[in-house]
Amino acid sequence: MPLCAIEKTSAFPRSARILRSADFRVVYDKGTRVTCPLFAAFCLERPDRSGVRIGLTVPRAIGNAVVRNRIKRRIREAFRLHRAEFGPQWDIVVNPRRSALTAAFDEIERGLGKVIQKCGH
């Protein structure tokens, strides 16, 4: 399937990512912590409602760059698939745990579902 044939709604635009360290710091400091066996997540409600955004921080203790990037890709994909379930006002930072290395994709989706419920949907 050519890249241009993918629906716009299933894309994962740059605007849906938290990229600046200052934005991460605000979510950590003012956000609500939600935990599950696979990761800890911090949720912060924004007043502008410009769309849900996700940020990922994976510590070096989890593994080398290949392992860390694999975890990030899997969590990003689960978020992309369920992005519409979040309200448009949320910033979410996810910190994966070592157990996320061997978790099945549906377990990651269930963990993200828990974040959706706890963040106030």
Q: pLDDT tens digit string along 51-69?
A: 889 999 999 999 999 999 9
Q: What is the pTM of this model?
A: 0.83
Looking at the predicted structure, is the pLDDT value of residue 84 above 60? yes
Structure tokens at 11: 């894309």
Q: Please, are residues 62 and 95 in contact by the beta-carbon 8 Å criterion? A: no
Number of H helices, E strands in the chain: 3, 4
Q: Is pLDDT above 50 for 2?
A: no
Q: Which pLDDT value is given to residue 10?
A: 61
Amino acid sitting at position 32: T
Pairing of strands 53-56, 39-45: unpaired
Can you give the pLDDT at residue 83?
85
CATH 3.40.50.720 fits 40-121, yes or no: no
- pLDDT confidence of residue 52: 87
